[in-house]
Amino acid sequence: MLTTAALDDLIGQGKLVAATRTALANSGAGVAVRKSAAKPDISTVDAFKNALLNARSVAYVEQGGTGIYLKALLQRLGIADAIKTKLKLLPPENPAANAIANGEAEIGMTQISEILPYAGAELVGPFPADIQLTTSFGAAVGKNAARPEAAAALIKFLTGPSAAAVFKAKGLDPAG
């Protein structure tokens, strides 16, 4: 189970069976604040920009797909320089939602599924649709799998209704 881009790469290398490639879930980026804090309006791109401009501090993990996207997004929105002094770029071992829960920053940005596990952080909502970052996840059976039928059964289970309910509860949108 990997991002669809990673699956496609491994299929291209002949390490996974292309015919078994199955979409599982999508993860969108969201905004977090500390539990019980006022939630800024992020319903539109302009509101999102204003929320970041008006925040005392903004945190995200600099590495990885979301961090790379956010760095470019802030430039594209024309606010990178304006919020430069309030950015808290985090290492992977201190996820944005953890930093928010601990009071290290006012606003955090990361994948919604990475916000929900932190009791001290609260999801404001997803990024506006025009600037949303969606990461897709899927699964495939390894070409040299010792038990390919078991792997296929797991993939089938992960696309079923009981798994869909768990994906939703964890902040993921089931594929389908």
Tens place of pLDDT per residue across the chain (176 aa)? 899 999 999 999 999 999 999 999 999 999 999 999 999 999 999 999 999 999 999 999 998 889 999 999 999 999 999 999 999 999 999 999 999 999 999 999 999 999 999 999 999 999 999 999 999 999 999 999 999 999 999 999 999 999 999 999 999 999 97
Same domain, 73 and 146: no
What is the model's pLDDT at position 15?
Answer: 98
Q: Based on the domain organization, do 13 and 86 belong to the same domain?
A: no
Return the DSSP state at 142.
Answer: B
Same domain, 121 and 165: no
Q: Do 37 and 122 sit in the same domain of this protein?
A: yes
Q: How far apart are the first and last CA of the chain?
A: 16
Both 125 and 45 in one domain: the answer is yes
Kindly write down the DSSP assignment for every residue of 103-128, as one continuous string. Answer: TS-SEEEEEGGGTTT-TTEEEEEEPP
The CATH number assigned to the domain holding 110 equals 3.40.190.10
- Based on the fold, state whether residues 50 and 110 are members of the same structural domain: yes
Q: How many domains does the chain divide into?
A: 2
Return the closest-CA partner of residue 108 out of 56, 147, 73.
56
Q: How far apart are CA 11 and CA 163, in angstroms?
A: 24
